[in-house]
Amino acid sequence: MAFELPPLPYDFNALEPYGMKGETLEYHYGKHHKAYVDNLNKLTQDTELANKSLEEVVQISFKDPSKAGIFNNAGQVWNHNFYWKSLKPAGGGAPSGELASKLEKDFGSVDKFKEEFSNAAATQFGSGWAWLIDDGGTLKVIKTPNAENPLAHGKKALLTLDVWEHAYYLDFRNARPAFIKNFFDNLINWDFVAEQYAKA
């Protein structure tokens, strides 16, 4: 069973009114994400990892320095699968229900959470990701370099933002903070975050 590129949850042009060009998705999903899937299939072909789940490959390859190349691709496939679901057309707004209460409890307020997440996303030096995770019942913000993710560390991810330059350069050039602000104002899919929290 080869690893697959899951369909985007929306059309290439669906996020254009919300600050993310169709061209960004054509490259980011159609070329970058697809290349990680293709590379992962090449690197695992005819090995025991070819029959494992993507989640298992991420966790096994992260622990084995001889499989760093596999981890880089498996991690990036998983991260992008999760990232596309963290966005939606006409996203933004505020969380509600139990998720909102939990963010208030663990961060002080939803705004404090946004501030902490934005700070992590802005200060990840070079390529990487910002995450909201459920760490044994406590919500926390973390950042990871390159392909690393909470799954590799046995943690449960609730939300992510890709802060590799390829994620924002066509839309915001070098202005990563403007990309992060637009994410919270227009793109974040709070329904997805709430679903992940309910499953955590």
Where along the sequence are the contacts to Mn ion (CB under 5 A)? Answer: 162, 164
Nearer to Mn ion, 131 or 164 (CB): 164
Give min distance, CB of 76 to Mn ion, in A: 7
Give min distance, CB of 161 to Mn ion, in A: 10
Closest Cα to residue 88, out of 155, 156, 11? Answer: 11
Q: Is the Cβ–Cβ distance between 160 and 129 less than 8 Å?
A: yes
Interatomic CA distance for residues 127 and 139, integer angstroms: 23
Q: Is the Cβ–Cβ distance between 197 and 99 less than 8 Å?
A: yes
What single DSSP character describes residue 7?
P
Give min distance, CB of 143 to Mn ion, in A: 14
Nearer to Mn ion, 164 or 192 (CB): 164
Give min distance, CB of 164 to Mn ion, in A: 5
Nearer to Mn ion, 32 or 181 (CB): 32
Nearer to Mn ion, 30 or 89 (CB): 30
Interatomic CA distance for residues 15 and 46, integer angstroms: 39
Residue nearest Mn ion, CB atom distance: 162
Nearer to Mn ion, 52 or 80 (CB): 80
CA-atom Rg of the chain in angstroms: 16
Joined tokens for residue 21:
């060009």
CA 113, 116, 119 angle in degrees (round to 5)?
145
Give min distance, CB of 167 to Mn ion, in A: 5
